[in-house]
């Protein structure tokens, strides 16, 4: 077996004429074709860490907005917090919750 393997190892399987040239044609063709431009929304999504991170961020933002617009009564009455009313044009945002 050793001799048979050695003989096969020593044998040359030279690529046929033109194969490297065709491979280089492929290489140049792929270099010429411009890489697809990633849309802005996808770039932002990737920067945020992908879909799971973006979904978490959206949920948090939604809850924050809801709390800002419709302050839950329980939050207003919680603990020793002190409610200070500030006059503004922002309606519900007049409620400022301060640690007491």
Q: Which residues bind other proteins (CB under 8 A)?
A: 1-5, 7-9, 11-16, 19-20, 22-24, 26-28, 30-31, 35
Closer residue to other proteins, CB minimum distance, 4 or 40: 4
Compute the least distance from the CB of residue 50 to other proteins, in Å.
15
Q: Are 82 and 98 in contact (CB under 8 A)?
A: yes
DSSP-assigned letter for residue 36? P
Closer residue to other proteins, CB minimum distance, 3 or 87: 3
- Per the structure block, which two tokens stand in for 5? 């393997």
Angstrom CA distances, 59 to 19, 64, 87, stand at 56, 9, 29
Closer residue to other proteins, CB minimum distance, 11 or 74: 11
Compute the least distance from the CB of residue 17 to other proteins, in Å.
11
DSSP-assigned letter for residue 32? H
């Amino acid at each position: 077996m050793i001799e048979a393997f050695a003989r096969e190892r020593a044998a040359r399987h030279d690529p046929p004429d033109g194969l490297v040239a065709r491979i280089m044609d492929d290489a140049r063709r792929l270099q010429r074709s411009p890489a697809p431009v990633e849309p802005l929304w996808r770039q932002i999504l990737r920067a945020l860490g992908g879909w799971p991170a973006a979904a978490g961020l959206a949920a948090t933002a939604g809850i924050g907005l809801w709390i800002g617009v419709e302050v839950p009564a329980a939050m207003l009455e919680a603990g020793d917090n002190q409610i200070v009313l500030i006059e503004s044009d922002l309606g519900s945002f007049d409620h400022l919750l301060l640690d007491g």
